[in-house]
């Protein structure tokens, strides 16, 4: 069992989990290529922090998240990952990610992405 990482501040929440939630968080929030142990771990979501809050950014965020999470499916830890975006036009874009684990158990992961 792992300790849950809070998606709002990146700190541990104090709760324990036994699913892929931390793996999803780390793949999304780590800048692609910055982890010394695996240069393929991470996403390009950090590049959106300087983008304007327009519709095309929502599509980019969805694509970047899907690319970052694909190795979880390739490794056989999940059977399906669905990424949806919600654009609130207040400086944040919200990713709603539904992960289906190999056991058939599903969980929803929410991740905010800063934009200008």
Over its length of 116 residues, how does the chain's per-residue pLDDT go in tens digits? 577 777 677 777 777 665 788 899 899 999 999 999 999 999 999 999 888 888 889 999 999 999 999 999 999 999 999 999 998 878 889 999 999 999 999 999 998 888 88
> pTM for this structure?
0.85
- Cβ 43 vs Cβ 111: under 8 Å: no
Among 73, 20, 67, 74, residue whose Cα is nearest residue 47: 67
Cα–Cα distance, 108 to 39 (Å, whole number): 26
End-to-end CA distance of the chain: 37
Tell me the domain boundaries of the chain.
2-114
Topology at the third CATH level for domain 2-114: Nuclear Transport Factor 2; Chain: A, (3.10.450)
């Amino acid at each position: 069992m792992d300790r849950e990482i809070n998606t709002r501040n990146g700190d541990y929440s104090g709760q324990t989990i036994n699913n892929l939630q931390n793996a999803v968080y780390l793949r999304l929030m780590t800048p692609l290529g910055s982890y010394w142990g695996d240069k393929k771990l991470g996403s390009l979501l950090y590049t959106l922090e300087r983008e304007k809050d327009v519709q095309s950014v929502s599509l980019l965020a969805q694509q970047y998240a899907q690319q970052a999470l694909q190795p979880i499916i390739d490794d056989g830890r999940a059977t399906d990952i669905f990424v949806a975006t919600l654009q609130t036009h207040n400086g944040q874009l919200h990713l709603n990610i539904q992960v289906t684990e190999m056991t058939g158990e599903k969980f929803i992961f929410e991740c905010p992405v800063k934009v200008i």
